[in-house]
């Protein structure tokens, strides 16, 4: 039930935003997160943006997912992403 995913805000129209994740776009309501702006990464749950996500943290999550899919080790949890 509580499946939330991070997505980038592409457009805002009133309290409705267009968000994008891995090339998939959909509408999400900003009723619960009116402060979200274009360019923010937000957590989407059941069609609503719930919180703005720290971009560096999101990069770490994406890198972790990439590691699970076979990418070489790149994340160090305390130091962040290795360059």
Binding residues for other proteins, rule: CB under 8 A, are 1-4, 29, 31-35, 43, 45-48, 50-54, 57-58, 61, 64-65, 73, 75-78
In whole angstroms, how far apart are CA 36 and each of 42, 54, 70, 73?
8, 12, 33, 32
Least Å distance, CB 75 to other proteins, is 8
Least Å distance, CB 8 to other proteins, is 15
45-52, long-range: CB within 8 Å, 24+ apart, which pairs? Answer: 45/2, 45/3, 45/4, 49/9, 49/17, 49/19, 50/4
Q: Which is nearer to other proteins, 12 or 64 (CB)?
A: 64
Q: Which is nearer to other proteins, 1 or 23 (CB)?
A: 1
Q: Which is nearer to other proteins, 38 or 61 (CB)?
A: 61
């Amino acid at each position: 039930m509580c499946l939330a995913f991070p997505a980038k805000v592409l457009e805002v129209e009133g309290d409705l935003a267009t968000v994008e994740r891995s090339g998939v776009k959909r509408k999400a309501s900003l009723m619960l997160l009116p402060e979200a702006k274009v360019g923010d990464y937000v957590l989407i749950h059941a069609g609503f943006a719930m919180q703005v996500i720290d971009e560096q943290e999101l990069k770490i999550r994406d890198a972790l997912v990439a590691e699970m899919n076979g990418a070489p080790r790149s994340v160090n949890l305390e130091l962040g992403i290795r360059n």
